[in-house]
């Protein structure tokens, strides 16, 4: 009788403990919000959903993903992240550059290589990427989780371009990024900053004569329909970054911080697999969809004519960012030399 009573008490205590643990687990579970700049199935969307997958498979937390336009444009989602309305945001340096001038380094033409293996190795191993940038983002209340490449930049124009002279008089859409504007000034064009939502219509009405983006985005956004001449200038890769509101991140437990870092690493590896061959697939879709599309790949001599103009953009970058920018640029070049030499 005594043993049975004791057993019942033990079972009762165990049940109470498990119930309390379950209640605590539910209470600690959160629904986090993550916004990015692209459409369903695009690179940032794939990254976001891989990030979500890892979070939800390895915790009680849930993650809600918002695509381009659902919460506004790039500037809007950054403001919402800094205000703590969003916990996570994915934004390219093209827009973050207004907040963190040094992030515009990715728009110095011909600084980055265009061979995918070299680019990936650089993002994995670069001190500038993995040590210097997190400090710069932290100063703006952002926890940098991962920087990653999306694809080689391709210019679409109203007619084929093979030299800087061919850009003369052409208005080329740029993101709201002063250094990108300097790049197209150096190339001989007239840079025209426009939010993404206005680009298709501006190309269609000849308000602008061209723009630049990775080929998958040109296909996804249908830009080839109104700007059919694709020019591979080899001047760089489109880079983006996932980040968290730093106050939110710093307030998390060590367990949740590790969860988020592991999710960012998992999503990075998944996205590297995803972009392998993506440019070729996207170009094939474009060529199948339109007979008007032309593809121009600059040869070494033609590239050199554009490359000769890159130093003036580097100079502008240093003028805009000061000594911190100069140091970052030197580190960038050092990291690239190390990676290329391996």
CB 101 within 8 A of CB 133: no
* pLDDT at position 342: 57
* pLDDT at position 327: 96
Q: List the Cα angle 176/260/128 in 5-degree steps.
A: 50
| Farthest-apart Cα atoms in the chain, separation | 99
- Give me the tens of pLDDT residue by residue for the chain, a chain 342 residues long: 433 444 334 434 443 443 333 333 444 799 999 999 999 999 999 999 999 999 999 999 999 999 999 999 888 999 999 999 999 999 998 788 778 999 999 999 999 888 899 999 999 999 999 999 999 999 999 999 999 999 999 999 999 999 999 999 999 999 878 899 999 999 999 999 998 889 999 999 999 999 999 999 999 999 999 999 999 999 999 999 999 999 999 999 999 999 999 999 999 999 999 999 999 999 999 999 999 999 999 999 999 999 999 999 999 999 999 999 999 999 999 999 999 875
Element housing 258 (H / E): helix 254-275
Tokens of 227: 């700007």
Please identify which residue in the block is written with the tokens 């009405």.
205
Please identify which residue in the block is written with the tokens 């554009």.
306
Burial of 63 (0-12, 13-18, 19+ CB in 10 A): buried
Torsion angle of the four alpha carbons 108, 112, 114, 117, in this order, in degrees rounded to the nearest 10: -160
Work out whether the CA dihedral 296, 288, 200, 89 comes out positive or negative: negative
3-state secondary structure of 36: coil
Among candidate residues 124, 175, 115, the one with its CA nearest the CA of residue 146: 124
* pLDDT at position 97: 78
* CATH topology classification for 31-341: D-Maltodextrin-Binding Protein; domain 2 (3.40.190)
CA dist., res. 236 & res. 137, Å (int): 22
Torsion angle of the four alpha carbons 335, 336, 337, 338, in this order, in degrees rounded to the nearest 10: 50
CA dist., res. 8 & res. 30, Å (int): 35
How many CA atoms lie within 13 Å of 41's alpha carbon, on the beta-carbon side?
A: 7
Cβ atoms < 10 Å from Cβ of 98: 17
Residue 225 DSSP label: G
* pLDDT at position 340: 85
**Cα 317 to chain centroid, rounded:** 20
* pLDDT at position 22: 39
- Predicted TM-score (pTM) of this structure: 0.88
Q: Domain segments of the chain: what residues?
A: 31-341
* Partners of residue 124 on adjacent β-strands: none
């Amino acid at each position: 009788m005594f043993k049975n009573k004791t057993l019942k008490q033990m079972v009762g205590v165990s049940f109470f403990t498990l119930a309390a643990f379950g209640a605590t687990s539910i209470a600690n579970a959160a629904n986090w919000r993550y916004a990015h700049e692209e459409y369903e199935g695009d690179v940032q969307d794939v990254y976001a959903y891989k990030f979500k997958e890892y979070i939800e498979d390895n915790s009680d937390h849930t993650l809600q993903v918002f695509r381009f336009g659902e919460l506004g444009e790039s500037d809007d989602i950054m403001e919402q992240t800094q205000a703590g309305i969003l916990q996570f945001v994915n934004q390219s340096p093209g827009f973050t550059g207004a907040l963190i001038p040094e992030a515009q380094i990715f728009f110095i033409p011909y600084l980055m290589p265009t061979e995918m293996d070299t680019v990936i190795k650089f993002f994995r191993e670069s001190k500038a990427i993995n040590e210097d940038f997190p400090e710069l983002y932290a100063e703006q209340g952002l926890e940098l989780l991962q920087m990653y490449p999306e694809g080689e930049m391709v210019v679409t124009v109203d007619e084929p371009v093979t030299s800087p002279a061919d850009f003369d008089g052409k208005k080329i859409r740029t993101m709201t990024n002063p250094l990108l504007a300097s790049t197209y000034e150096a190339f001989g064009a007239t840079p025209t900053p426009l939010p993404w939502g206005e680009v298709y219509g501006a190309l269609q009405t000849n308000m602008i004569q061209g723009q630049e983006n990775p080929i998958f985005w040109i296909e996804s956004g249908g830009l080839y329909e109104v700007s059919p001449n694709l020019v591979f200038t080899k001047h760089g890769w489109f880079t983006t970054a996932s980040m968290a509101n730093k106050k939110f991140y710093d307030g998390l437990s060590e367990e949740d911080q590790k969860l988020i870092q592991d999710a960012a690493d998992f999503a990075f590896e998944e996205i590297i697999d995803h972009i392998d061959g993506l440019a070729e697939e996207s170009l094939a879709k474009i060529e199948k969809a339109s007979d008007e599309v032309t593809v121009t790949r600059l040869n070494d001599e033609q590239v050199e004519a554009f490359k000769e103009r890159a130093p003036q953009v580097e100079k502008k970058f240093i003028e805009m960012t000061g000594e911190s920018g100069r140091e970052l640029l030197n580190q960038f070049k050092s990291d690239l030399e190390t990676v290329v030499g391996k």
